[in-house]
Amino acid sequence: MVERVSPLGEAFRPGTYGNLAEGPGVTLTEATPAAIAEASAFPGSTEPLLAAIETVTGLSLPATPGAGAVGDGAAVFAIGPGRYLVSGAEGLSASLQAAVALDIGTVTDLSHGRAALRIAGPRAEWVLAKLFALDFSPAAFPVGEGRATAHHDVFAHIQRTGGDQFDIYVFRSFARAFWQELCAAAEETGYEVG
Amino acid sequence: MSARRIPTGGLIDRSRTVPFTFDGKAYTGFAGDTLAAALLANGITLIGRSFKYHRPRGVFTAGVDEPNALVTVFKDGVREPNIPATQIELYEGLVAESQNRFPSLDYDISALNQLAGPLFGAGFYYKTFMGPVVGPLKGTRFWMFCEHFIRRAAGLGRAGYDKDPARYERMNAFCDVLVVGAGPAGLMAAEAAAKAGKRVILAEQEPRAGGAANWSGETIGGKPAALWAEAAAERLAAMDNVRLLTRTAVWGYYDGNNLAALERVGDHLAAAPKGAPRHRHWSIRAEKVVLATGSFERPIVFPGNDRPGVMLAGAAERYANQFGVLPGEKIAIFTNNDGAYRAAAALKKAGGAVVAILDVRPEISAAARALAEEAGVVPLLGHAVAGTAGKRLAKVLIQRFDAATGRLSGDVRPVEADCLAVSGGWSPAIHLASQAGRNPAWDDRLNAFLPPQPTQEWTGAGAFTGAMSTAEALSSGRDAGLIAAGKKASRAKLPEVAAPPLEAGPAPVFEIKAEGKAFVDLQNDVTADDVRLAHREGFVSVEHLKRYTTLGMATDQGKTSNVPGLAIMAGARGLAIPEVGTTRFRPPFSPVSIGSLAAEKHGHFKPDRLTPMHDWHVERGARMMEVGLWHRPMVYGEAGETVEQTYIREAATVRASVGIVDVSTLGKIAVKGPDAAEFLDRVYTNMFSTLAVGKARYGLMLREDGIALDDGTTWRLGEHDFLMTTTTANAGKVMQHLEYYLDVVWPDLKVHLASVTDQWAGAAVAGPNARKVLEACVTETAVDNEALPFMGIVHGGIAGAPVMICRLSFSGELAYEVYCGAGHGTHVWEALMEAGEAFGITPYGMEALGTLRIEKGHVTGAEIDGRTTARDLYLDWMLSKKKPFIGSALMDREGLIDTNRIRLVGVVSLDGRPLGGGAHIVEKGSLEELGESIGHITAFCYSPALSKYIGLALVKGGKARHGTRAFVSDALRKRFGPVEIVSHHFFDPEGSRMHG
Amino acid sequence: MAEYSALSLLKNALTGNRDWKPAWRKPEPKPSYDVIIIGGGGHGLATAYYLAKEHGITNVAVLEKGWLGSGNIGRNTTIVRSNYLLPESVRFYDFSVKLWENLSHELNYNVMFSQRGILNLAHSPSQADDYIRRGNAMCHGGGDGVWLTPAEIARKVPGVDLSRSARFPVIGGLLQPRAGTARHDAVAWGYARAADRRGVDILENCEVTGFLRDGEKIAGVVTTRGEIRAKKVAVAVAGSTSRLMGMAGIDRFPIESHVLQAFVSEAIKPFVDCVVTFGGGHLYMSQSDKGGLVFGGDLDGYNSYAQRGNLPLVEEVMGEMVAMFPAVARLRLLRSWGGIMDMSMDGSPIITGGPLPGMYLNCGWCYGGFKATPASGFSFAWTIAKDEPHAVNAPFTLSRFERGAVIDEKGQGPTPKLH
Amino acid sequence: MLIPCPHCGPRDVSEFSYQGDATRTRPDPASTDMKAWHDYVYNRPNPAGPHREYWQHAGGCRVHLLLTRDTLTHEVQAVAFARAGLNEGAGKP
């Protein structure tokens, strides 16, 4: 299989940057799930769709807005009513497609279409708050949950994948611009790329 | 230090001397000073010149309400005009300059304007400068001649043209309770809400919390009030659920309890820390808000009230108590209320000589009397200031005054003074509360407007509500904090306040009428007589007053002038103040840097959108162009080539052999589900349910009003699985259009849409050798005519990457669109280039792409411009008669089928010269005498296939003009010449090449 | 009433400015008029003036619910231009510019029309083509348009970001030299004073609450100051058209009311001479005679009667400001306000007799009402007086939507927020 | 202004795209009643007060919402998914 090229190009430069007076406040990386897919249920079919997702990924989650789950090598979260962004192993879309019946919903492969950027560290909430009008506090945005939002023209699907870690899925064509935006926002706290 | 600096006391740090310059001269102050305080300490009282009359002006207040002492600050290599010296914290190396003066602050030529003062009354512009009706200065010329000089005289500071190098950021914040103002009331509110477990933000525009506690001279809980406030702020700062933001002015109260605030992060520092913004724009979403914004002292209007040395009493007190600066050596006090007596005592205590207290009231409270005694002076009751003298204040002219009649009487007596501290009462700072819409309520006791009933989720506390004493501030603050936290008011004991029991309400005296210019709006030079002139001329409503005189329109937003202005108008009209009305306050409460609102957009306005092959294009020397947010290659120029030469070479290579173009930017929408085919039948003018799996079809969409919306090909990848392509420009618009119909109009259809624009890299390989290129690199599928006929789709691989290939043509050549996963884009592209090397394959850009499509007469956004119909573009063959579709009901209205509409044609330049996009077409005329336009050119190129300049055009009558002569008429580019109108299908109209 | 002139200013200055008289009378309503004009904004007042001056119809009342000029005439960004694309628009707005050029003389009131020019910056070849098409349409329609190169722009408008590294580099600009700015309030006051001097009654604080009818025909209005009858009732209440139509029993109409925000910076010394628009988004900016930068951008984008906008649009507009003039990041926003736009379905106005017998309607001005004030008043007065449209307003009918003969400058179709 | 999206919770208006009047009903696709079509495409109630309108949460879950919002105060009085099928079983955000 041919390797997927990162959309970040030379904008991805490992090292430490910005104000490092108190050490880097965040670490920025590119999470590279083997596959990304959107699975969507027709109205009234969310439960069977979630069952199919569980069959494929082993992750179960309630049919509530914003719900999500993170597991070993897979993650899933709601991005709209009955709509889920799933990341996981190679062949994910085909497996999901096989598990979702025609009248339940649809599956669309987005492995190339989205880039997943990861921000982690004690100042992650602060840096993200510069870019998104979302309440990133743990009470409002618990681990595993997901949100669909936008930074100006850049759509973003965000999942909290750890206590101070977030994965941000953006359209591939915007990934480099958004990465640069993220780096700029993190200069104040200092950041490490790696 | 100068004599004006009090030896001890204040909240300044005397261990840190801070050097700065003003008008090029070096001075020093202390850390904790404002520029205004430091200038006063250095004996500088003349700081600026006024807007209209260029009168000398000094410091009038100590805060955000400052109308006079505006300066330009030089920092980061750029200039920042119009900053109140009262708002500038001293930092090492601060460079400030006075404004609106020439040649110098002391001797300003434009001060001569004053001599013609009576001519320059309110509205004088409207009555003159119309100029002669005939002759060289008729029309608007005379006015524009005069205006040139007026504009140069107006304005305050000068802005630079250099890019502001500063960094600005936006911050989104969420909290349970936002407390605005960290005076005693705000501190109490924040602590009460925080102790109840709420997430609290406390915002204070000054550098330190405490508000009036910092200069009141009172004690709270047995401690000096300033220390009490400091301790309270420290307690709050230590709490995890509290964010204390100082230097942060909340300036806008928007819908949904969304408040906007400006944090001045770096203004007080000589150099900002790495990565830190100069300003941070906070957008705060609060469940509840506590407004504890305090109040503004207002002046009394009297002749000569603008002389440097005249200032608000509270400001004088603040300079003494907070900054350790005496604003004058011989200080007179003029008041209509008790508050100024506390200032008098403070100034005396600080070492000043209080030479007189003039009070318009016939009687005063015992507490006031006691303070006068402390100040060492017997107040002159029933007295007023009738005038002042000196360039800088030297004398105060006093006279007996009857507050009941408003009349002066008796002899005018001069009192020598270099500072006159004035108090005309206090106005609650209701700006934020009133932004939401309702009118404030007038209070007869305070002679001030109180906040309106809330339209949003806020509670008020402290002086903002009209509760003027510190004890009231503490209790109302705590109550407001508890209410905001959803708790009941507390009865627990509050810290004890030691303060003189002063009466808060002033006598209703707003103006002392006497000879001379008495200023209401100091910054805009609006006088009391201007207000009366406005009245005389019928501009009597508040809004007319404001607009006619410019009262309250200056950078201080009328904080000191609003109520006095209204009062004078009320007097002229014989009405009570609330009957005259009040100005509605709008955002911002105080001026906000434009950079902070642009935030991260300053420096890079919009995100760049890049195709998967972007780096390849750039490395190959492509000249890139902006198409929406995308960057696309315009031409792949070689050394010494012009753009025209390049695109001609590229296009010619495609026609002769083969070329490749990046089409990844085309909008791509996955349309899936059991009803997908039915859905497409409804949204496209032509049929898609009849399309076979593995085939593509060109489709056209209309808007509901029958106008063309977009076109593109849609591929049937499976029975219930379509891939729709849209034009690059309309991708988002079409997606929204489709989503609207699914959600709103046809909710029963089982169809899902997903944007897959970014999933696929696309390369169009076009030219007679295109198939050979594919044959050289495509695996796992045949690409011959049988396996891959026109509009067919196959799946295979290129260099190990899976690809999907559709045979379709925009260029009119044998052509294929090769799609692969975006992450494989460059890999596949390079493999195609390598396979094409033997055929001399050329990458081509937008210019050649445009050339090829013009030669074919294919339409794009220049023709589908939101005004054209399918018929206008001769696409009526695509309008199915077998089914209704979006737009079918209205597309045949008379206006849309009128034969005189502009319709698509081709044009050929007959003089061998280029045409031009946007040039018009005329039947006759010349550049000197422009003819009547019958249409315009939408796109043009030099056609290598035809060896001529050709273009597409929309021309009245369309086809009916084929074969006729006309002229291209391009007045803007001075181009006029003959053209022939022809069919828009210039090249290979039968399509034999793409079907071959 | 005395003429305004330099001499009268001087004379009054010498007598303490005590003899100035109200700019217009404050009469009591008469029981009936020949024509009632609802709406004391620019268009209503201009209509009254031209009815009196051009057609000798002086028994006219202008009814204003609040203070005179409290609507969009006092809330706009004061731009006067005729840089339009479609021939109907070019003809109408150029006629307006011609009236503007002599307006101060005509009204004996300096409306400060200053022909400083308007420059539309173009940032892509297709945008340049659009602007050139527009410029040529202006020239072919009898107006003026000039294409400027970046070097010429640099000389005319210092401070514009002309760098290649700009996100949307400027590749040229369309200049209309005869365009400019005027003092918006002065236009209302000037027309009011001139109409008043010809006998028109201007009735402030007189809100219309209903219509009087003779059978089918509109025969007058019910107001907060009593019933007033009239042979003809004209409506010029942009922003509130639907409300007035509702009172007349028309509950659906091709208008949406949207909020548009406008902004002004602190006053600075001359910074920019002409009006400049940014093509990388939607922004227009000029500098007032007082020194403030006056600017605005898009609509907030939702139906509103609140005369108050929201924060996202503020941020968007400021982003465009600094993209166009990077130096202004250092300047400060001083005031913002909102006006209610009468957004029509094709972005063009409606000036017509009807829609009910006895009624005349002037509405749908979208963003563009201020510049149109003289031509709107002139052609509306013509339509009222002669019961037929003037040549310049003939295409701006209400029936054009039904007929599919829309005048859609932006090509956005029946989506008002996009016009 | 905040819009309480039933899926995403209250979000800033900047995430939403206004889709206008929600009181209109599209005529039957095959209808040739031009008056009905004209009314649907061009005419709006445009009330000063409560207004039924569509908003798409374009910068969020992409779903169209049906709002009742007061055009005088901007207060959102009611909200639901435009597609009725989504409202059944929709949880609290």
How many Cβ atoms are within 10 Å of B123's Cβ, its own excluded? 23
How many Cβ atoms are within 10 Å of B927's Cβ, its own excluded? 13
C-alpha distance across the termini of chain C, in Å: 43
CATH architecture of D1-21+46-93: 2-Layer Sandwich (3.30)
Kindly state the tokens that stand for B127.
Answer: 């009555």
Please indicate if any CB of chain C lies within 8 Å of the CB of D9.
no
Q: Radius of gyration over alpha carbons of chain B, in Å?
A: 38
- The answer to whether B259 and B253 have CB atoms below 8 angstroms apart is yes
B660: enclosing H helix or E strand: strand B659-662
Q: Which chains touch C (3 or more CB pairs under 8 A)?
A: B, D
Residue where a domain terminates, one of A52, A78, A109: A109
The verdict on residue A179 lying in a domain is: yes
Cis ω for the linkage preceding C389 (within 30 of 0): no
Residue where a domain terminates, one of A88, A109, A130: A109
Task: List the single best residue of B130, B585, B737 to mutate versus C (max C Cβ within 10 A).
Answer: B130
User: Which of the pair, C7 or B824, is modelled with greater confidence?
Assistant: B824
What are the backbone dihedrals phi and psi of residue B407, each rounded to the nearest 5 degrees, phi first?
-100, 145
The structural domains of chain C, with segments of one domain joined by +, span 28-78+184-254+346-418, 114-180+256-344
**Mean of all residue pLDDT scores within chain B:** 96
- The answer to whether B331 and B417 have CB atoms below 8 angstroms apart is yes
Q: Buried b / exposed e across C41-62, counting CB within 10 Å, b at 16+?
A: bbbbbbbbbbbbbeeebbbbbb
- The answer to whether B297 and B468 have CB atoms below 8 angstroms apart is no
What are the backbone dihedrals phi and psi of residue B963, each rounded to the nearest 5 degrees, phi first?
85, 0
The Cα B837–Cα A143 span in angstroms is: 52
Q: Do A79 and D85 touch (CB under 8 A)?
A: no
Cis ω for the linkage preceding B184 (within 30 of 0): no
Taking residues C375-382, what's their average pLDDT? 98
* Residues 6+ away with beta carbon under 8 Å from B529: B121, B517, B518, C17
- The answer to whether A35 and A87 have CB atoms below 8 angstroms apart is yes
Question: Residue B255 is nearest to which of D1, D34, D58, comparing CB atoms?
Answer: D1
Q: Residues of A numbered 55-114 whose beta carbons fall under 8 angstroms of chain B's beta carbons: which are they?
A: 102-103, 105-106, 108-114
Q: Are residues A151 and A179 in the same domain?
A: yes
Q: Do C415 and D20 touch (CB under 8 A)?
A: yes
Q: How many helices (H) and strands (E) does chain D have?
A: 2, 6
Helix (H, G, I), strand (E, B) or coil at C335: strand
Taking residues C52-77, what's their average pLDDT? 96
Find the length of chain A: 194
**Nearest residue of chain C to residue B623 (CA atoms):** C164
List C-alpha distances in Å: B798 to A35, B664, B773, B805, D75.
20, 17, 11, 10, 57
- Mind listing the pLDDT tens digit for each residue in B315-345? 999 999 999 999 999 999 999 999 999 999 9
What are the backbone dihedrals phi and psi of residue B968, each rounded to the nearest 5 degrees, phi first?
-85, 130
Taking residues B934-950, what's their average pLDDT? 97
Q: Do B822 and A112 touch (CB under 8 A)?
A: yes
Question: Residue C327 is nearest to which of B159, B592, B971, comparing CB atoms?
Answer: B159
Cis ω for the linkage preceding A7 (within 30 of 0): no
User: Which residues on adjacent β-strands are paired with residue B202?
Assistant: B179, B244
Point out the residues of chain A with pLDDT beneath 50. Answer: none
Q: Are residues A39 and A99 in the same domain?
A: yes
- Mind listing the pLDDT tens digit for each residue in C102-129? 999 999 999 999 999 999 999 999 999 9
- Could you tell me the maximum CA-CA distance found in chain C, to the nearest angstrom? 67
Q: Are residues A184 and A167 in the same domain?
A: yes
Find the length of chain B: 996
Taking residues B274-300, what's their average pLDDT? 97
Q: Are residues A23 and A42 in the same domain?
A: no
**Alpha-carbon gap: A110 to the closest alpha carbon of chain B (Å):** 6
A71: enclosing H helix or E strand: strand A68-71
Kindly state the tokens that stand for D91.
Answer: 């949880």
Residue where a domain terminates, one of A109, A127, A155: A109
Q: DSSP assignment of B746-781, as one string?
A: -TTS--EEEE-TTTEEEEEEESTTHHHHHHHHEESS
CATH, residue A172: 3.30.1360.120
The structural domains of chain D, with segments of one domain joined by +, span 1-21+46-93
- The answer to whether B646 and B636 have CB atoms below 8 angstroms apart is yes
Please indicate if any CB of chain C lies within 8 Å of the CB of D39.
yes
User: Which residues on adjacent β-strands are paired with residue B699?
Assistant: B712
Q: Residues of D numbered 70-89 whose beta carbons fall under 8 angstroms of chain A's beta carbons: which are they?
A: 81, 83, 85-86, 88-89
Smallest CA-to-CA distance from B213 within B495, B562, B4 is with: B495
Asked if this assembly's ipTM is beyond 0.85, the reply is: yes
What are the backbone dihedrals phi and psi of residue C9, each rounded to the nearest 5 degrees, phi first?
-60, -45
- Mind listing the pLDDT tens digit for each residue in B375-425? 999 999 999 999 999 999 999 999 999 999 999 999 999 999 999 999 999
| Owning domain of residue A125 | 18-32+113-193
- Mind listing the pLDDT tens digit for each residue in B213-227? 999 999 999 999 999
Q: Which amino acid is at C309?
A: G
* Residues 6+ away with beta carbon under 8 Å from B619: none
Please give the domain boundaries of chain B with CATH numbers for all domains.
Answer: 1-156 (3.10.20.440), 166-296+427-485 (3.50.50.60), 299-424 (3.50.50.60), 517-585 (1.10.10), 614-665+759-852 (3.30.1360.120), 667-755 (3.30.70.1400), 897-996 (2.40.30.110)
What are the backbone dihedrals phi and psi of residue B248, each rounded to the nearest 5 degrees, phi first?
-125, 110
* Residues 6+ away with beta carbon under 8 Å from A182: A28, A117, A119, A127, A131, A168
Helix (H, G, I), strand (E, B) or coil at C95: helix
* Residues 6+ away with beta carbon under 8 Å from A73: A34, A88, A89
* Residues 6+ away with beta carbon under 8 Å from B405: none
Q: Are residues A87 and A156 in the same domain?
A: no
Q: Do C269 and B707 touch (CB under 8 A)?
A: no
Is the model's pLDDT at D92 over the cut of 60?
no
Q: Topology of domain C114-180+256-344, per CATH?
A: D-Amino Acid Oxidase; Chain A, domain 2 (3.30.9)
Is the model's pLDDT at B441 over the cut of 50?
yes
Residue A163 burial (10 A CB sphere; 0-12, 13-18, 19+): exposed
- State the pLDDT confidence band at D91, using cuts at 50, 70 and 90: very low
- The answer to whether B588 and A156 have CB atoms below 8 angstroms apart is no
C146 interaction partners in chain B (CB closer than 8 Å): 972
Task: List the single best residue of D7, D15, D62 to mutate versus A (max A Cβ within 10 A).
Answer: D7
Counted domains in chain A: 2
- Helix pair angle (B562-573, B528-536), 10° resolution: 40
The verdict on residue A66 lying in a domain is: yes
Q: Do B743 and D82 touch (CB under 8 A)?
A: yes
Q: Do B824 and A129 touch (CB under 8 A)?
A: no
B471: enclosing H helix or E strand: helix B470-484
Cis ω for the linkage preceding B588 (within 30 of 0): yes
Kindly state the tokens that stand for B18.
Answer: 């801070």
Q: Residues of D numbered 17-56 whose beta carbons fall under 8 angstroms of chain A's beta carbons: which are they?
A: none
Kindly state the tokens that stand for C388.
Answer: 């037929």
D73 interaction partners in chain C (CB closer than 8 Å): 306
Kindly state the tokens that stand for C306.
Answer: 């609140």
- Mind listing the pLDDT tens digit for each residue in B115-139? 777 788 888 889 988 888 888 888 8
**The pLDDT of residue B1:** 42
Place of tokens 């005309």: B424
Please indicate if any CB of chain C lies within 8 Å of the CB of D89.
no
- State the pLDDT confidence band at C1, using cuts at 50, 70 and 90: low
Q: Do A153 and B629 touch (CB under 8 A)?
A: yes
Task: List the single best residue of D1, D3, D23, D26 to mutate versus B (max B Cβ within 10 A).
Answer: D26
- State the pLDDT confidence band at B749, using cuts at 50, 70 and 90: very high
- The answer to whether B41 and B329 have CB atoms below 8 angstroms apart is no
Q: Are residues A65 and A135 in the same domain?
A: no
B597 interaction partners in chain C (CB closer than 8 Å): 314-315, 318-319, 333
Question: Residue A103 is nearest to which of B608, B750, B825, comparing CB atoms?
Answer: B750
Question: Residue D60 is nearest to which of A44, A46, A148, comparing CB atoms?
Answer: A148
The verdict on residue A8 lying in a domain is: no
Q: Do D20 and C306 touch (CB under 8 A)?
A: no
Q: Which amino acid is at B794?
A: V
Question: What HEC string does B775-836 produce?
Answer: HHHEECCCCCCCCCCCCEEEEEEECCEEEEEECCCCCCCCEEEEEEEHHHHHHHHHHHHHHH
Smallest CA-to-CA distance from A116 within A31, A21, A25 is with: A31
**The pLDDT of residue B3:** 65
Q: Topology of domain C28-78+184-254+346-418, per CATH?
A: FAD/NAD(P)-binding domain (3.50.50)
CATH, residue A75: 3.30.70.1520
The Cα B93–Cα B270 span in angstroms is: 7
Question: What whole-number percentage of chain B has pLDDT above 70?
Answer: 100
- Mind listing the pLDDT tens digit for each residue in C330-360? 999 999 999 999 999 999 999 999 999 999 9
**The pLDDT of residue A138:** 97
**The pLDDT of residue B570:** 97
DSSP strand pairing (B279-291 vs B168-180): parallel
Is the model's pLDDT at B361 over the cut of 50?
yes
The Cα C301–Cα C291 span in angstroms is: 29
* Chain A to chain D Cβ contacts (< 8 Å): 62
Place of tokens 């005259």: B580
User: Which residues on adjacent β-strands are paired with residue B383?
Assistant: B400
- The answer to whether B118 and C17 have CB atoms below 8 angstroms apart is yes
**The pLDDT of residue D89:** 55
* Residues 6+ away with beta carbon under 8 Å from B633: B617, B622, B623, B624, B625, B662, B843, B845, B846
